[in-house]
Structure 1
Amino acid sequence: MTSAANTRLVQVDALRGFALLGILSVNIWAFADPYYASTTSNPAYAGALDHLIRLLIALLFETKFYLLFSFLFGYSFTLQMAAAERAEAAFVPRMVRRQVALLALGLVHGALLYYGEILSTYALLGLVLLAARNLSPARAGRWAIGLVVVTCSMWMVLGLLQGLEGTWIGAINHDAAQKLTAFSGSALQTLHFHSQQLARTLPALWILQGPSALAMFLFGYAAGRQQWLASPWAWDKRVWQLLLWTAPLGLLGAFGYALTAAYAPGGGLETFAFGIGQLTAPLLTITYGVLMLVLFNSTVGTRLCALLAPLGKMALSNYLMQSAVLGLLFTGYGAGWINRIEPLLLLPMVAAIFLLQMGLSAYWLHRHPYGPLEWLLRAVTLLAWPSWRRTG
C-alpha cells in the first residue's frame, strides 16, 4: 500500500474516532437525564448554568456527529468495494452478510444496553446504499441534497401543523418517570425497560435519523468514489472559503434548534426548529470534518491524528463499550446515578471515558489487527477466520 493510501486510511480512522467523541457527548445525556429527548425540561435544572450546558450540547453536538459517522460509513463503503475488487470476490454477498450481522449486533445492543442505538438503522440503510452502488458521484450528491431538503421541509410543515393545533410546547411525558424508576432500580428493571422501549424507539429513530443518515451515506459514497480524502491538502486553498459559509449557516440553524430543545421541548416549535436544524446540520458537520482534516495535516495535528486513529479503527467496539460504561454508571446495571450528576460534571466524565477508550484502543491494536467486534464482523463478511493476534 502506498504512503498516500496509508495517510488516507489513518485520517478516515481519526475522523471516525473524533466522531465517537461527539456521539459520547450526546449519548451520556440519554443515560444521565431521564428527561432527555422528552417533551418537558428536567425540573432539576433550576439554574441558568444547567440550561446553558444543555443548550450548548444541542448546539454543538446533537444531530451533527452521527452525520459525520454516516458520511464515513458511505466513504468506507467505497473502500470495501475496492477491497472486494482486489480480492476478486463478489461484493454483494459480502456486504449483505456484513449488514445482517450489523443488524443483529444493533438489536442485541438496543435490547440490552441502549434502546436508542443506531446500528440497526445503519444496517438497513447500508442495504439501500448497496442497491445504489452503481450511481455516479454526481447523481448520488443530487439524491442526497434532495433527500435532505424534502425531509426537512416535511418536518417544518409538521411543526407548523402542531402549532396551529395549539401544541407549540410539549405536555408532561410520563416515560421520564418510568425511565428514572427503571434506571434507579435493579439490573432486571433496566433490562426490561431497554427491551420494552426498543420496539417503540426504533421506528421513531428510523424516521428521525434515517433520511439524514442515508443522505450522508450518499455524500460519503460520492466522496469515496472521487477519493476526496486521499489527499485533503490538495484543496486547502479553498477550505477557508468553504468554511466562511458552512460554519455561520450551520451554527445559525443549530442555534434555533438548541433554543427549543433547551427551553421549549416537545411541541411544534421544536419540530419546526428540528427541520431547520436538520437542513443546516450537514453544513456544521462539514465544518467539523474540514477543520479536523486541516488540523491532521499540520505539524501538531499529526500526533492527534495518530491518537484518534486507533479509536476509529475499532469504532464498533468502542461505540458498544460506551453504552456499557454509561450503563454501569447511570443504570441499574451498576451505580444507578441517573438524575444525580449535575450537567457541568457530565463534561469531565465524557473526557475521562474518551481518554480511557483512547488508551485501551491503542493497547489492543498493538497486539491485535482488529477490534473484537470488528474481528467478528470481518469473519462474517469474509466467511473466514481473520488473524486474531498480530504476528511478527
Structure 2
Amino acid sequence: MGILLLNIVSFAMPGDAYINPLAWGSGRPVDLAAWGVNQLLFEGRMRGLLALLFGAGVLLGAARAERRLRWHYARMAVLALFGLGHGYLLWNGDILLHYAILGCLLPVAWDWSAGRLVRAAIVVLTLQTLLLSLQFGAAFVFRAAAEAPGASESLVAGYRAMIASFPQPGSATVAADLAAYRGEWPDILDYHWNVRGDAPLRLLQFAGGETLGYMLLGMGLARSGMLTGQVSGRALGRMMAWGYGIGLPALAGLTAWAAATRFDPIVLMGNFLAWSIPFRVATALAHLALVLWLARRFAASTIVQRIASVGRMAFTNYLATSLVMTTLFYGYGGALFGRIGRAELYFFVAAMWAAMLIASPWWLARYGTGPLERLWRALSGRIANATQ
C-alpha cells in the first residue's frame, strides 16, 4: 500500500517526474508539497520495508521447508518469470525480477546469527552509500571543470551528455515516455523491449546494494524475534525515537537543499541514489517499529485485520495494482498518462487502497490464499519436485 504512494507517479507521468518534480507538471505549490512529503517520509522507505520483509520471508520459509535449497531456487525462478512478464509486458517499474536475482544470494546467510546478519547489512549499505556518494561527488567536480574558463570542448560535451541523462524538464526521456505511454499496447511493448530493455540491469547497478542490505536486515530482525512479536513496546519506542531522530532531520535537510537549488539534477540524483541511504534506513526502521506497535495496540480492530489481509495477498495486490493503474493511465485504456496533476494522483491511490482493503478479506475468507500466491507456490513446487 505504501509503495503505491511513490509508484503512482511512475504509472501516471514520465519517469523523470519520479525524481524531479519539475520534469513534468505545473510545479504548483501543492504538487511540490506532495513531492516533499514523499521525500521526507516515504521515498525509499516503502521499498526498503518490502525488501526487509522479503528477506524475513525467505528466512522463515527456509526454516519450514524440506529440501529448502531446491525449494528456494524454484521460488526465485518463478518469481523471476513473473517479474520478466510484469516488467516487459505491463509496467517497466517492476521490482520482482530484482528481488528474485538478489534472493538467489540469500541462502549463503541462512544460518547466520541475528547479529551477523545485521552487521552484514550495515556493511553492504555502507559500501553502497560510499560508492555512489563518490560517484555523485565526482559529478560536482566534473561540472566545475566543465564550467571553468578555458574548458576544452570535449570536457564540456562530456558534461552536457551526463546532465542530459539526468531527470529534468524538457529531457528527451520525457518526450519518449509521453509518446510511448500514450500509445497502444504494441507501442509500449516495443518501448519496453527496445528502449527500456536494460531497466533490470540499471536497477541492480544503482539499487542492488541497498536492496540486498535491507534483505539481510530483514533476515536479522526475523531471527531476533522482532518481526514475530518478541520485542517489548518500550524497545519499539526507542527504535522509533532513534530512527526518526536521526533520519527525519537529515532527510528534511536534503529535501530543502534540493528545493533551494531549484532541483539541481546532480543534487536530486545524489540524494535519490546515495546520500539519503543511511537516513532512509533509520526512518524505515522507525516506520517498522511504529507499525509493529500499532498492530499490537489495535490488533482487534477491523482496519488492522483488513490491512493484514492485504499483506497476506501482497503478491496479488502488487500485480493487480499495476494492471489497474496501467489500464487507467496508458493509451490503450483511460489514456490519462501525463494529464493528471501530481497532487490529484493520490485520489487514485486512495481508491486503490479501498479496493484492496475490501477485496482482500473477501477473497481470503473464501479461498484462504491469494490467487497469485497459490500459483507461485504451485509452480515452485512443480519445479522443486522436478529437480529432485
Q: CA deviation at 1:298?
A: 1.4
Distance in 2 (alpha carbons) for counterparts of 1:221 and 1:197: 36
* Conservation of the 8 A alpha-carbon contact between 1:296 and 1:304: no
The 5 A counterparts of 1:35-184 are: 35-37=16-18, 41-84=22-65, 89-166=66-143, 170=166, 172-184=170-182
Q: CA deviation at 1:142?
A: 0.8
Partner of 1:14 in structure 2? none
Q: CA deviation at 1:220?
A: 1.1
The 5 A counterparts of 1:1-392 are: 21-34=1-14, 35-37=16-18, 41-84=22-65, 89-166=66-143, 170=166, 172-232=170-230, 234-259=231-256, 265=263, 267-274=265-272, 275-299=274-298, 302-383=301-382
Unaligned runs of 5+ in 2: 144-158
Distance in 2 (alpha carbons) for counterparts of 1:266 and 1:119: 31
Spell out, residue by residue over 1:3-25, the C-alpha distance to the aligned partner (whole angstroms, 9 max, x if none): xxxxxxxxxxxxxxxxxx11111
* Conservation of the 8 A alpha-carbon contact between 1:190 and 1:332: no
One-letter identity of the residue aligned with 1:183: Y
Distance in 2 (alpha carbons) for counterparts of 1:282 and 1:372: 32
Calculate the TM-score normalised by the size of structure 1.
0.85
User: Which deviates more, 240-249 or 336-345?
Assistant: 240-249
Pick closer, same or farther for the CA change 1:29–1:224 going to 2, 3 Å.
same
Q: CA deviation at 1:43?
A: 4.8
Distance in 2 (alpha carbons) for counterparts of 1:140 and 1:266: 37
CA-atom RMSD in angstroms: 2.3
Query: Helix, strand or coil: the match of 2:43?
Result: coil
Q: CA deviation at 1:40?
A: 7.7
Distance in 1 (alpha carbons) for counterparts of 2:136 and 2:349: 33
Q: CA deviation at 1:295?
A: 0.9
Pick closer, same or farther for the CA change 1:160–1:28 going to 2, 3 Å.
same
Distance in 1 (alpha carbons) for counterparts of 2:352 and 2:187: 25
Q: CA deviation at 1:347?
A: 1.2
Pick closer, same or farther for the CA change 1:379–1:264 going to 2, 3 Å.
farther
Distance in 1 (alpha carbons) for counterparts of 2:308 and 2:55: 18
Pick closer, same or farther for the CA change 1:198–1:51 going to 2, 3 Å.
same
* Conservation of the 8 A alpha-carbon contact between 2:76 and 2:103: yes
Pick closer, same or farther for the CA change 1:98–1:43 going to 2, 3 Å.
closer
Distance in 2 (alpha carbons) for counterparts of 1:59 and 1:45: 21
Pick closer, same or farther for the CA change 1:197–1:224 going to 2, 3 Å.
farther
Distance in 2 (alpha carbons) for counterparts of 1:297 and 1:200: 43
Q: CA deviation at 1:291?
A: 0.8
* Conservation of the 8 A alpha-carbon contact between 2:239 and 2:289: no
Distance in 1 (alpha carbons) for counterparts of 2:44 and 2:77: 25
* Conservation of the 8 A alpha-carbon contact between 2:21 and 2:27: no
* Conservation of the 8 A alpha-carbon contact between 2:74 and 2:383: no
Unaligned runs of 5+ in 1: 1-20, 386-392
One-letter identity of the residue aligned with 2:209: P
* Conservation of the 8 A alpha-carbon contact between 2:115 and 2:220: yes
One-letter identity of the residue aligned with 1:80: G
One-letter identity of the residue aligned with 1:246: G
Distance in 2 (alpha carbons) for counterparts of 1:114 and 1:143: 32
Query: Helix, strand or coil: the match of 1:343?
Result: coil
Q: CA deviation at 1:236?
A: 1.0
One-letter identity of the residue aligned with 1:135: W
Distance in 2 (alpha carbons) for counterparts of 1:157 and 1:358: 43
Spell out, residue by residue over 1:68-104, the C-alpha distance to the aligned partner (whole angstroms, 9 max, x if none): 01111111112212221xxxx2100000100000001
Pick closer, same or farther for the CA change 1:257–1:336 going to 2, 3 Å.
farther
Pick closer, same or farther for the CA change 1:69–1:279 going to 2, 3 Å.
same
Q: CA deviation at 1:46?
A: 3.4
Pick closer, same or farther for the CA change 1:215–1:178 going to 2, 3 Å.
same
Distance in 2 (alpha carbons) for counterparts of 1:101 and 1:300: 33
- Percent identity at matched positions? 27
Spell out, residue by residue over 1:275-325, the C-alpha distance to the aligned partner (whole angstroms, 9 max, x if none): 221121111111111111111111477433211111111111110111111
Spell out, residue by residue over 1:201-252, the C-alpha distance to the aligned partner (whole angstroms, 9 max, x if none): 11111122211111111111112222222224x4212322222221032223
One-letter identity of the residue aligned with 2:237: W
Distance in 2 (alpha carbons) for counterparts of 1:239 and 1:183: 44
User: Which deviates more, 92-101 or 132-141?
Assistant: 132-141
Partner of 1:11 in structure 2? none
